[in-house]
Chain A
Amino acid sequence: MPGDSQLRTYRNERDYPFCPGCGHSLVLNHLNTALVKLGVDPHRIALVTDIGCQGLADQYFVANAFHGLHGRSLAYATGIKLVDPDLKVFVLIGDGGTGIGGAHLLNAARRNVGMTVLVMNNFNFGMTGGEHSVTTPPGGVTVTTRKGNLERPLDICATVAVNGAGYVWRGTAFDRELPDVIVEASNSESFALLDIWELCTAYYVPNNDFSRKSLLEMRERLGMPVGLLHREDRPEYARAVREANALLLGKPALPANPLPALFTSPLKEEFRFVVAGSAGGKVRSAARVLGEAAILSGLFAAQQDDYPVTVQTGHSISELIFSPNLIHFTGVTRPDALVLATEEGRKASARYLKALTAESWLFTTPEFANMDTPARKVVVDLDAMGIKGGRKNLAWLLSVYALNQLGIISAEACEEAARRGQRAEVAEEMIAGLRRVVGGEKAACA
């Protein structure tokens, strides 16, 4: 049969496994009729089945089949469609799968992923023995609602319609027009959902004295309308994504950003430099520029950051290591220099402060001028230097000042790193600040 683009039937030789009178058989026959009417090459059809009695269905068709896990069929259909937007995708899902996969239902509709979803809705879990589902009507008797269901049934159609589905229909497995509805739904090239009410002759029917006639009565009782309920023309998601992405095609993907050793550094051994400031104080981006400046100076650099989950509040600490040799261990227990920019930084720096010795350096602001430490303390007074608005770049300004004083990384290297790594306006601001602190008054050394 390879090469056939159209079949007289899309059913294979295997017999359905369903109980006598089960609505699933009717729906699948309608689906077959619809596929014949559509006349699509079976190689270009994906039949995605959920789990449950209806989930067995793909095995009776000549088409690509995807049978995964319970409730996830809509997510698989989305994945398939995103890769191959021209495939005809059909999803066969039960009322059970619709419930457990509720998040996927909302999102597939909302995105308008092109697929035709047949909800084979028999108001209970057939496969597992007749438990209630999200569509069990009020009063419905199931093995888990023995005195009658107290939960309000989910209006699947209204839900997907209000959330952007392209085609929404409700009816029963007995409806003669179902094949044509399936054809129309599929041709809508949108997220199309058909809520198909059925009989589960093993459980829901005997437990509720239910019949074909009850289906008709029920829609009056629940006030759920039938027929074509909603049509909406929106861009189909898989194609829309491809179109939006097309502009980027061919651009170089994640190219390396090599940093040539344009400058030099006199550093002979590893130097650990910790910058402690506040979240939102651009500590991490300042540290990154310094690391890049170190590499531009022929050094190795490493940077490790610590910050709370809420990134705009609390501390932000960057540990930097500069070394003439390869750095194996990126952790810092004892800083050689600590840059203390703010109170939040100080609060989170207890272990660094404790580790400081008379050999260490502490660079900080007048706010912490009286702080007790064995380290050599350098108080940098930006106001006295005539630098206005330095607070928002405090971590950067203190750090470049410190590195310049320590003679580890030159101001030129820092400028070059800022120019290469930051947006033009940001780089400009960083460089302007740097020139002021580096050229400014000598700081007080306590």
Chain B
Amino acid sequence: MREFIDGATAIARGALDAGATFFAGYPISPATPILLHMIRELPKVGGLAIQGEDEIASISMCVAAAMTGARAFTATSGPGMSLYSETIGLSIMGEVPLVIVDVQRLGPATGGATTPGQGDVQFARWGNSGGYPIIALAPGNVYECYSLTRVAFDLAEKHRCPVFLLTDKELFQALTTADVDRFEAPPVRERVVAEALPAGTHGLRAEETTIPYRAPAPDAAPAYAPIGGPHIVRFTGSTHDEHGFLTKDPVKVGKLNERLRRKIEDHAAELEMATSTTAPGAQTAFVSYGVTTGAMEEAYRIACAEGRAVSTLAVQSLWPVPENAILQFVKPGDGEAVVCRIVVAELNHGDFRREVERVVYRWCAQARVVPPEIVGINRVDGELITPAQFLEQIVGG
């Protein structure tokens, strides 16, 4: 059976099904529907939602709630993302499992409050002092709004870091027809509380039964223990040792900061998500994400019907960048997929094209092969990129 559903509802349902128990947010177009959904729905599952006095309070409450046992998330749009920035850094440093939904609108500043945009791609990645990596997922349709929300909660739990769900006004608010049974439900790991360490464990302090920031590996997050739970824990946003005490010891500092980077970057290959279609003989590859993938798919359908060959890549993990998926279009070893033009379509000035260029040009330089031409389809006039704009860019075929 089918339903008429918008991205907002799919995300809200994804969060509820992923076990969310806490939400705090400040009203902002176009993200407000999530706040309204959560105020209404979270009490039904024993959780609660609150409208904070501003975005800083909202995300701060989420961070504290997440460290007190809740599964927390928040939602905002560009101006709110700006106010989240400092706390995004706190979530990275303190290793907070937190999902942040950014319903992108046209920027900069207040910009176009009810206009779609995709201009927060680099902002999400670099919007923390220190430049630490984060995870950002971009659903391309209403099914993915649901499934990637679940994935976001799962990854936040595993890596204990902020995970962004980057969507946009149009995908979020447009109603589309979905098959109720076609929603995929990727597993979301349960919240696991750290076991008590055996007495005499090396380094265990007198009051401790767990060591809050001792990680099992140099590329992994420590086991989670909530405030108010079975262990006395410390949470901190300052550079710290494994107990959560402030430190300037270069060995400890370096180890911590390297781990915060490596726990994401060393797992890039397993985190990368993208779906591609490769047509034999295609000389053009389209790359897109979010709402723009809809136009790309329609263009692909038209091209196929007209007998024109084109390959496509719909990116779900904007961060980490799906390097392997992108490189299939340039690596000769992969045979048929190699193209002479990559077209990156997005509602910004080329945020993700930079990444495609970086990945492709670096690989081609190292392999000493001539890179394909990389061009952008970009719109910042508040209108969507159309299938016709994609079709114009096909070479050969």
Contacts and interface: CB of A to CB of B under 8 A. Distances in A.
A324 B301 CA distance: 15
B45 interface: yes
A103 B387 CA distance: 47
Contact of B16 (A80, A254, A329): A254
A328 B170 CA distance: 13
A56 B234 CA distance: 12
Nearest to B37: A254
Interface of A is mostly: mixed
Interface stretch (A133-141, A147-155, A211-219, A296-304): A296-304
A333 interface: yes
Contacts of A442: none
A77 B227 CA distance: 11
A58 B227 CA distance: 14
Given A82-B50, A302-B175, 9 more contacts: A67-B235, A76-B60, A79-B61, A83-B69, A245-B48, A248-B44, A253-B41, A253-B44, A258-B3
Contacts of B70: 83
B44 A252 contact: yes
A291 B175 contact: yes
Nearest to B21: A83
Contacts of B384: 329-331
B355 interface: no
A48 B236 CA distance: 10
Nearest to B141: A328
A83 B246 contact: no
A291 B5 CA distance: 10
A44 B228 contact: yes
A75 B298 contact: no
Contact of A64 (B205, B233, B245): B233
Contact of A295 (B56, B62, B177): B177
Q: How large is the interface on A (under 10, 10 to 19, 20 to 34, 35 or more residues)?
A: 35 or more
B43 A245 contact: yes
Contact of A2 (B3, B54, B65, B196): B196
A288 B294 contact: no
Nearest to A308: B114
A292 B297 CA distance: 24
Contacts of B42: 253
A427 to B, nearest CB: 16
Contact of B228 (A46, A260, A328): A46
Contacts of A66: 64, 67, 227, 234-236
B6 to A, nearest CB: 8
A104 B87 CA distance: 15
B64 A80 contact: yes
Which 10 pairs of residues, A with B, have the shortest CB-CB distance? A79-B64, A79-B61, A245-B43, A75-B60, A258-B1, A76-B64, A65-B234, A329-B298, A328-B298, A248-B43
A1 B207 contact: yes
Interface of B: 1-5, 9, 12-13, 16, 21-22, 24, 29, 37, 41-46, 48, 50, 52-54, 56-57, 60-65, 67-70, 86-87, 90, 94, 113-114, 170, 173-177, 180, 196, 205-207, 209, 227-238, 244-246, 291, 294-295, 297-298, 301, 383-384, 386-387
Contacts of B228: 43-44, 46, 64, 80, 84, 87
Contacts of B43: 245-246, 248-249
Contacts of A252: 44
Interface string A249-290: 111111011111100000000000000000000000000100
Given A79-B60, A107-B53, A59 B87 contact: no
Given A76-B60, A77-B64, A103-B54, A65 B4 contact: no
A75 B56 contact: yes
A248 B41 CA distance: 8
Given A67-B237, A307-B114, A257 B3 contact: yes
Contacts of B63: 68, 76, 79
A161 to B, nearest CB: 19
Contacts of B177: 291, 295, 299-302, 326-327
